Amino acid sequence: MKKAVHFGAGNIGRGFIAPVLQENEYEVTFVDINNELIQQINNLNQYKITSLSLENSTNKIVENVYGIDLNDNSKLKEKISEADLITTSVGPKFVSDIFTNISKINTDKKQVFIAFENMYRASTNNSNKRYRDQLILIDAVVDKIVPPQKTISLDVVVEEYGSIILDEEVNSKPLNESDIVSYRNYENEFYKKLWLLNGLHLKLAYFGLSKNLSFIHEVFSSELGRYFASQSIDSLATAYNLYSKNNENLEKFKEIILSRFSLPELHDKVARVARNPEIKFSINERFEKPLSYLISENKDIETFKTILNIIFENNFEEVEGFSEFKSNQLSKGKSSFYTEFWNIDSYSKKYIDGLGI
């Protein structure tokens, strides 16, 4: 059997990555800094995944998984040297350290490295230039919502939908294509997810905050909320097609996203989704970049205007980072926001005409 080492035994690692690896006939060994979690994995050797959808829920038992403490250097070196596939779901800021460590371990095996992180080209951008020739790097776009977990057991509750898209430009296919796994144009798929999923998520969060809602799914409980969500994702899809220039039919993709966000069992708090606004509203991010394509082509931007008005007219102190964002950027006014925060001199008149000052 092929062998996989996965760094990160958290909810995404256990609830999404590990079962996909097992379906591809890999023996899975988790690596984590949490020694208690590793002991629990080795003692129980199995756990349950509950997948949620609007229609029903299903259960799956994952068995025959193993764990290694990140600080157990001898075992870690042994497992890494034997691995066919090395993967991560530890958070973007830790990937480069992991990559540095694994690239120092000598082996004659041809190995694949995939960072399943919410970050642009997490595999290649976190690698150093001195990695081994036989280590193949593949960038991935990974999509799975994991709600807050109510227990400390190994069992995980996740949404039913899941997607792993691997860069088709790399001449290696460590995972078989399936309903979950595919090989496509990485650049397009990254921005499709960033704009239509993450961008919509952000807009729904601030729309929800403006209506004193607590959870994302509550936006869909009113006709106004459903209309805003539908109009928002339509404009984001238009922006994506302008960017990609491939006229992809996104109707099914849009329906899936709206269905996912309307699932009450996800307990998706609007304040959590809205956190770190200075990053999420910054230039080239999930809000500004699609907006720039729409404005340059004179397309509808009404839902973007709605959200801008919301963030300028309110102070959501319960949102992590909003008060600082208000002080650093919003307090200067919209005109300054366009020219200084977004650096938009050439299109400033279009922004002022479309979004106001």
Distances from the Cα of 119 to the Cα of 186, 190, 227, 253, angstroms: 12, 9, 30, 21
Written as one letter, the residue type at 36 is E
In the prediction, which pLDDT does 151 show? 75
Per DSSP, the three-state class of 110 is: coil
Structural domains of the chain, ranges and CATH numbers in brackets: 2-184 (3.40.50.720), 187-355 (1.10.1040.10)
H or E stretch covering 328: helix 322-328
Residue 167, Cβ density class (10 Å: 0-12 exposed, 13-18 middle, ≥19 buried): buried
From the CB of residue 255, how many other CB atoms can be counted at a distance below 10 Å?
Answer: 11
**334 close to 308: Cβ distance less than 8 angstroms:** yes
- Strand order, beta sheet including 135-138: 65-69, 26-32, 2-7, 85-88, 111-115, 135-138
- Strand order, beta sheet including 57-63: 57-63, 46-52, 156-159
Q: What is the pLDDT along the chain (357 residues), one digit of tens a residue?
A: 999 999 999 999 999 999 999 999 999 999 999 999 999 999 999 999 999 998 889 999 999 999 999 999 999 999 999 999 999 999 999 999 999 889 888 888 899 999 999 999 999 998 876 666 778 999 999 999 999 887 789 999 999 999 999 999 999 999 999 999 999 999 999 999 999 999 999 999 999 999 999 999 999 999 999 999 999 999 999 999 999 998 899 999 999 999 999 999 999 999 999 999 999 999 999 999 999 999 999 999 999 999 999 999 999 999 999 999 999 999 999 999 999 999 988 767 889 999 998
From the CB of residue 278, how many other CB atoms can be counted at a distance below 10 Å?
Answer: 16
Residue with tokens 């936006």: 219
Report DSSP state, residue 41: H
From the CB of residue 233, how many other CB atoms can be counted at a distance below 10 Å?
Answer: 25
Could you tell me how many residues make up the chain?
357
